[in-house]
Structure 1
Amino acid sequence: MVRKGKTEMKRIEKATRRQVTFSKRRSGLLKKAFELSVLCDAELALIVFSSNQKLYQFSSSSSITKTIQRYGKTCKEPGGSCATKVVENVQHSKEETDVLAKKIEVLEASKRKLLGEDLESCSSDEFIKLEEQINQALSKIRERKNQVFKEKMEQLKEVERILNEENAQMMNKVKTFEELDQSDDHQKVETQLFIGPPQPRNSVVFQG
C-alpha cells in the first residue's frame, strides 16, 4: 500500500492510532540503532519512554549505564560542553560535504569537456591537456580491445582443436566399421544348389 503524502508532524489525537504509530516507529528506531551499531561499530544508548511511562531501551555495549557515564565524562572534558561538540561535529561535516560537492562539480565539468561539451571557456593549454587525456584514453581502449580480441581468438582456436579431434575420432570409427564389413564379405562362401537327375557323361560311338 502506497503512503499518500507526507505525515503531518503533530500529536496524534486518537489514542489507539497513537499507540499503533508508537509501536511501529519504536520498532523501526530500535532496528536502525542496532544496524548503526553493527555496521559502523558505534557505541549507542537509546532510551524511550512511552506516553504511559513505559521504558524501552537499547545499548550496543554491555551496559547502558556505561555509555551514559561515558557521555557525562565527555561533556565534562575541558574545551567545551556537549552542545559545543555537536556544533563542531556539524560544522566539520558541513565542511567535508562542501569539499566533496566541489570535487563532484570539477569532475562533472571535466566529464562534459571530455565529451566535447562546454568548450567555449577552454584555453589553448586546456585543449592540449584534453587532447592528451583523450589520446591516453584511446590508447588504453585500443590496448584492451586487442587483448579482448586475442583472448577471443584463443578461445575459438581451442574450440576448433576440440572439434577437429572429435571429427578425427568419428572418421576412425567409420573407417573401422568399413574394414569390418569388407572382412565379412571375403569370408562368405558362395554355394549352388541343383535338384534333378545327374547329367550324362559324354560317350564316344565307334562305327564298324
Structure 2
Amino acid sequence: MQKTIERYHKYAKGGQTSNTEGEQNLQQLKGESEIMSEKIELIQLSQRKLLGYGLSSCTLDELEEIDSQLERSLRSIRARKAELFMEQIEHLKAKERLLKEENERLYHQMSAPEKEVVTHSSQNSQISSVMDVETELFIGLPEMRCS
C-alpha cells in the first residue's frame, strides 16, 4: 500500500511539472505567433508600397529605397526573361535542324521512286517498241498487203 501511495505522489508531481512545462511552451508559442503576425504586417505594408499604394506617407529616402528595390527586381526579371528566351531559341533551332534532316530524307525518298519510274518507263518504251509488230494474218506476199 505504501508503495502505491509513493507511486501516486511521484506521478502527481510529474503531472505538475509537465503542466508548468506545457504552460511555458504555450507562452513561448504565443510569443512566436505575435512575432510572426508582426512580420506578416510589415511584409504586407512593404508589398503595398511596392505596388504603389500608401506612398503619400513615405519620406524621400523611403521612396528612393523603394525605387532601387524595384530597379533590382526589374533587372532580375529581365535577366530571367532573356534566359528563357535563349532557351526557347536553342530549342527551336534544334527542332529546325531535325525538321531539315527529315525534309532532306523525305526529298531523297521521293526522288528515288521518280528514278525508278524513269527506269521503268524507258524499259516499257523498249518493250513497247518490241511489241510494235503486226499481228494480222495475210495470205500472200507482204507487198500485197493494204494498209
- Identify the TM-score tier after normalising by the shorter chain: 0.7 to 0.9
- Look up the equivalent residue of 1:146 and give its one-letter code: A
| Secondary structure in 2 matching 1:199 | helix
2:133 aligned with 1:193: yes
2:110 aligned with 1:159: no
CA distance in 2, matches of 1:161, 1:100: 54
Q: 1:199 to 1:88 in 2, by over 3 A?
A: same
Q: Deviations over 1:161-202 (max 9, x none)?
A: 1111111111101111111111122223303222234116xx
Q: 1:157 to 1:89 in 2, by over 3 A?
A: same
CA distance in 1, matches of 2:42, 2:13: 39
Pairs within 5 Å for 1:105-124: 105-124=41-60
- Look up the equivalent residue of 2:33 and give its one-letter code: T
More strand by share: 1
- Look up the equivalent residue of 1:157 and give its one-letter code: K
2:71 aligned with 1:135: yes
- Look up the equivalent residue of 1:100 and give its one-letter code: M
- Look up the equivalent residue of 2:143 and give its one-letter code: Q
Corresponding residue for residue 168 of structure 1: 104
TM-score, normalised by the number of residues in structure 2? 0.77
2:38 aligned with 1:94: no
Q: 1:88 to 1:180 in 2, by over 3 A?
A: same
- Look up the equivalent residue of 1:164 and give its one-letter code: K
| Secondary structure in 1 matching 2:53 | coil
More helix by share: 2
| Secondary structure in 1 matching 2:73 | helix
| Secondary structure in 2 matching 1:193 | coil
CA distance in 2, matches of 1:182, 1:118: 82
Q: CA deviation at 1:73?
A: 9.1
Report the count of equivalent residues.
128
Q: 1:156 to 1:91 in 2, by over 3 A?
A: same
2:80 aligned with 1:144: yes
CA distance in 2, matches of 1:93, 1:143: 41
2:14 aligned with 1:75: yes
CA distance in 2, matches of 1:156, 1:81: 69
Gaps of 5+ in 2: 1-7
Q: Deviations over 1:104-136 (max 9, x none)?
A: 110000000000011111111111110111001
**Percent sequence identity over aligned pairs:** 30
- Look up the equivalent residue of 1:175 and give its one-letter code: S
RMSD after superposition: 2.3
Gaps of 5+ in 1: 1-68, 201-208
